[in-house]
Amino acid sequence: MEYAVSSDALKGKVILVTGAGDGIGKQAAISYAQHGATVILLGRTVKKLEATYDEIEAAGYPQPAIIPLDMKGATKQNYIDMVDTIESQFARLDGVLHNAGLLGVLSPFDQIGEDTYDDIMQVNVKAQFLMTQAVLPLLHKSEDARIVFTSSTVGHSGRAYWGTYAMSKFATEGMMQILADELSDTTIRVNAINPGGTRTSMRAKAYPAEDAELLKTPLDIMPLYLYLMAPEGKAVNGQCIDAQPK
């Protein structure tokens, strides 16, 4: 399927992107800004967020904002404070791309450490749960709001050694389906994207021996990321869509 959107599809919208300093999240922030959105760049490494900010500013897209936050340690109150900041600065929020994620270490099930389990579930699931709860009141004020989660092929079909990461993506897809169903009578649409193998540092960590040049880049998979945030994708709800269908 072709996911085409107009060049100013996101004009006037305010979109929060987590993990906006690297990989897919960085490209999504730039692409959303290119299509007119004011993007809020959330992540844990300020230097990387600043690099995304600088690229957006140099391109002449709407001025972004940076929210430094380590989702591993962030509390419910941190997310409430974050939303207060967004509301006072922008008075609106139209979209959230839940993109930040931790891979952890691939290992046999019986060797998954409790700390690794806790860290991955915290960043990939609980942080998104708390953040979503906090942003919902602001999203409800938008006439056309979107929440886009990020899953994985191992988020709908379990695979040996993918352990906690895969479990976290199953939980992510569940959270997406529950919210989409609950919000179906509202102006908020909720979906997920499975990026498929994409040339980033997370992919290189999972597949150190492969030739990264053969992989799609984050830019290649942007049409779907744009479509699910744009008016063109408004009819889609409760789906996990493959950015690289077989």
Catalytic residues: 165
By the rule CB under 6 A, 195 interacts with ligand NAP:
yes
In this complex, which beta carbon is closest to ligand NAP, that of residue 164 or of residue 237? 164
Query: Which whole-number Å values give the CA distances from 71 to 74, 125, 130, 238, in the listed order?
Result: 5, 10, 10, 25
Identified binder of ligand NAP from the candidate list 64, 101, 104, 163, rule CB under 6 A: 101
- Residues 79, 213: Cα–Cα separation, whole Å: 38
By the rule CB under 6 A, 175 interacts with ligand NAP:
no
- Of 238, 40, 15, 10, give the one whose Cα is nearest residue 139: 15
Could you say which residues in the range 200-219 bind ligand NAP, by CB under 6 A?
200-203
Q: Compute the least distance from the CB of residue 4 to ligand NAP, in Å.
A: 23
By the rule CB under 6 A, 78 interacts with ligand NAP:
no
Q: Is the dihedral of CA 163, 166, 169, 170 positive or negative?
A: negative
- Of 59, 60, 26, 55, give the one whose Cα is nearest residue 43: 26
- Residues 192, 97: Cα–Cα separation, whole Å: 9
- Applying CB under 6 A, the span of 22-30, 83-91, 108-116, 226-234 interacting with ligand NAP comes to 22-30
In this complex, which beta carbon is closest to ligand NAP, that of residue 81 or of residue 144? 81
Q: What is the DSSP letter of 198?
A: B
Could you say which residues in the range 145-164 bind ligand NAP, by CB under 6 A?
150, 152
Contacting positions for ligand NAP (CB under 6 A): 19, 21-25, 43-45, 48, 70-72, 99-102, 123, 150, 152, 195, 197-198, 200-203
